[in-house]
Amino acid sequence: MLYIHPLKEMFRLTESFCIHMRKTILEFRLPPYEEISDVGLYLEQTARYVHSILHPLVDSTTLTASMISNYVKSHLLPGPVHKRYSRDQIAVLIFITIAKSIMSLEEIRIFLDLYEVNTNPDRLYTLFCEEFRSALLFSLDPHVLPPRTPENDPSAFLLHSAAVTIAHRIVMNFCFHRLQKK
């Protein structure tokens, strides 16, 4: 039985919409860190690349070239090298773009500092990908429990909580988008 069934009745969603939402969420995958482009992308290319990864789940206006520049100016993101953004920076941008749906930029900064993203950017991204995938599955079916976070590890707890909250926010956005169309 499809867990979305309660949402279907609550929001009077069509069967085809529920199937579309479920299919979109189930098929979505963040690329593994090693598969993120590392050819060095210019600013506009970087914004388009991140959009191409996130567009099935995240609004297309969530990352622009000017936003990337602002993240660099506010030291959330290291500046480009010879005007090009690396895999490390793109991984951080993917995280920021997804996380900003539930966190302020200052909270994101705390996260980035907690995971020492300036010295080990792939760590946060890789852990987030694992938690986020589990959280997306959990958002569709609460019987699929996300993995338990290690006890006494505040950074793991925060990452887990963020991933679950973002996943539920994505489901909410699907429903709100559908309700706006009615």
- pLDDT, tens only, 153-167: 888 888 989 999 999
The first and second tokens of residue 97, run together, are: 């773009």
pLDDT of 121 reads 83
Predicted confidence (pLDDT) at residue 4 exceeds the cutoff of 60: no
The residues that bridge with 179 in the sheet, in sequence order, are none
- pLDDT, tens only, 12-46: 777 788 788 889 998 999 999 999 999 999 999 99
The residues that bridge with 84 in the sheet, in sequence order, are 81
What three-state secondary structure class fits 41? Answer: strand
The first and second tokens of residue 150, run together, are: 């290690």
Mean pLDDT of 56-70: 84
The number of folded domains in the chain is 1
pLDDT grade for 1, boundaries at 50, 70 and 90: very low
The residues that bridge with 85 in the sheet, in sequence order, are 41
- pLDDT, tens only, 89-132: 999 999 999 999 999 999 999 989 988 887 888 988 999 999 99
pLDDT of 120 reads 83
Residue 58: Cβ within 10 Å count: 22
Which structural domain range is residue 165 located in? 5-181
- Could you tell me the sign of the dihedral formed by the alpha carbons of 155, 157, 159, 165, in that order? negative
pLDDT of 35 reads 97
pLDDT of 157 reads 86
